[in-house]
Structures are given as structure tokens and as C-alpha cells.
Amino acid sequence: MLIRISLIVAIVAALAVGVLNILQVRDKIDTLITQRNDYHTERDQARTELASTRRELAKTEDDLTQTQQELTNTMTQLTKAEADVKVQTTRANELADKLAKTAQERDDAQNQLAAYKATGFSAEQVGGLSKALKSTEAELAAVQEENGVLQRTVNRLTVKLNELIGTTNYVVTLRANLRGKVIAVDPKWDFVVLNIGGDQGVLNDGEMLVSRDGKLVAKVIVRSVQRDRSIANVVPGWQLGDIIEGDEVTPAHPAS
């Protein structure tokens, strides 16, 4: 009887040990399954991030290539524009000399008109000199206008070039005699519309001082330029009062 009881106790103990081992093995299996799933999840996430990084890298390379091409094109245009300015400046100087000479000849002829027989000038010759002078003046004015357009082109390309190469300390200068007025104000979005634009020499990122009755009101920076008007944002920290229509604007950094 005692032996039977001992056997039963041994069997029960063995079963208990077996159940305990099974439970421990099951816990280990569950842990391994969880670790495997976590590994798969992390692997899939890493692959997704790698693919995204590759796409961003490809886009960055495309943007860099485009920027380099724009930089090359801008430098080419700037070089051509500067060469055109030199040519037109030389032509303008030649015409100015010609104009001065013609004016001197006309003045001499007019001063001697009363005694033209003695000087050798006839009335017809004096009239011809006046016509030549007017023609030269018109040609000089046209050249000076063309020279101004070319100079504005050079200034615009210089600003774009500095934007492309990332010059941080570059200051956009505007014509010292540039004057304009505020024709519209949006206080909600802190921008104003000016009655001067590209034809008058306004450039993107050019800063202008807003004044009224000789007193500074604010400083604005140009963000969009059209032919005869431009849009500028108020520079933070520079608004000393409310901007109203009719306020005058002048360059904050006039060209010397």
C-alpha cells in the first residue's frame, strides 16, 4: 500500500514538473515570437526609412543640379549684360563728346552769324549744325535710356546671383534718387503696395524707408517687383507707427 502511494506521489510530482516545464517553454516560445515580430517590424520600418531617405537624396541631387544650372545661366546672363553696359557706356561717352563739340560749333556759328561773311559760315550752315545737334541729342537720350535698362538688368542679375551662391552679408542697393509712395496698405498681413517698380529701378530684397512729413514710420523689404509697382513686407521691429496711403518711400541702402 505504501509503495502504491509513493508511486502515485512520484507520478503526480512528475506531472507537475512536466506542466511547469511546458509553461516555461511556452513563455520562452511566446517571447521568441514577440522578439521575431519586433525584429520584422523594425526591419520593415528601417527599409521604409531607407527608401524615403533615398528618395529625398535623389530629390536633393536633382535640386542641386537645377540650382547649379540656374547659377551657370545667371552668371552667363550677368557677364553678357555687363559687357553690353560697357559698350553702351562707351557709346554714350562718344555721343556726349560729339554733342559737346556740335554744341560748341553751333554756339560759335550763332555768335558769328551777324558777321558770317567774314567767318565763312552761311545761314544754311548754321541751320545744318542745329539739326545735327538735335539729332545727336536724340540719339544720346536713346542710348542713355538703353544704358539705364541694361544697368537695371545687371543689378537684377547680381541680386539673383548672390541669392544662388548664398551670400549672407549682401545688401541690395537701390538708386539714390529713387522715390515712391505707398498706394495700398494691408495691416493684417503687414505688406504695402508701392507705386514704383522694375522700370524705376526697384529690386527684389531691396529695403526702403517709409516716412511721413520727414519722420520715419517703418522700414519695408521688397518681395515682388512688377514694371510700375512693387509689393513689400514690413520689417519686424522697424514699424514706429501706422503706415497709410501717401507715405513716401526712399532707399534704405542707396547706391553710391
Task: Spell out the domain ranges in the chain.
Answer: 11-168, 180-251
Q: What is the pLDDT of residues 202-240, one digit of tens each?
A: 988 899 999 999 999 999 999 888 989 999 999 999 999
Of 54 and 213, which is predicted with more confidence? 213
* Residue 212 near residue 218, CB atoms below 8 Å: no
Query: CA dist 34 to 37, 39, 175, Å?
Result: 5, 8, 72
Architecture of the domain delimited by 180-251: Beta Barrel (2.40)
What one-letter code names the amino acid at 155? N
248 sits in which H/E element:
strand 248-251
Per-residue cell: 143: 542710348
Q: Which residues pair with 180 in a beta bridge?
A: 249
Dihedral sign, Cα of residue 127, residue 131, residue 132, residue 137 = positive
d(CA 78, CA 106): 41
86 close to 151: Cβ distance less than 8 angstroms: no
Is pLDDT larger for residue 91 or for residue 142? Answer: 91
Between 2-111 and 123-165, two packed helices, what is the crossing angle to 10 degrees? 170
Q: What is the pLDDT of residue 230?
A: 94
At 55-92, the pLDDT tens digits run 887 787 888 888 788 888 878 888 887 887 788 888 87
Q: Residue 215: its pLDDT value, please?
A: 94
Name the pLDDT band for 42 (thresholds 50, 70, 90): confident
* Top-tier CATH class for 11-168: mainly alpha
Q: What is the pTM of this model?
A: 0.44
